[in-house]
Amino acid sequence: MYICVCHGISDKTITKLAIHHGAYEIRKIRQLTPLGSQCGKCVRPTKELLQKLAADHLLPQAC
């Protein structure tokens, strides 16, 4: 499922970046992708996804 429709960034891509590349904060995701740089509607769902991953103990800390 696309989280960022403007740039075609999926929840799987964000999950992979967070778990395997240490991008577990929205700031780090935005350094690696153009997420949120157009309409910005994807920022909140991305934060929620990162919080869910953290709650599931898949990340070192919440964003």
Binding positions for ligand FES, rule: CB under 6 A: 4-7, 35-42
4 or 23, CB closer to ligand FES?
A: 4
4 or 57, CB closer to ligand FES?
A: 4
Contact 3, 40 (CB under 8 A): no
42 or 59, CB closer to ligand FES?
A: 42
Q: How far is the CB of 37 from ligand FES (least distance, A)?
A: 6
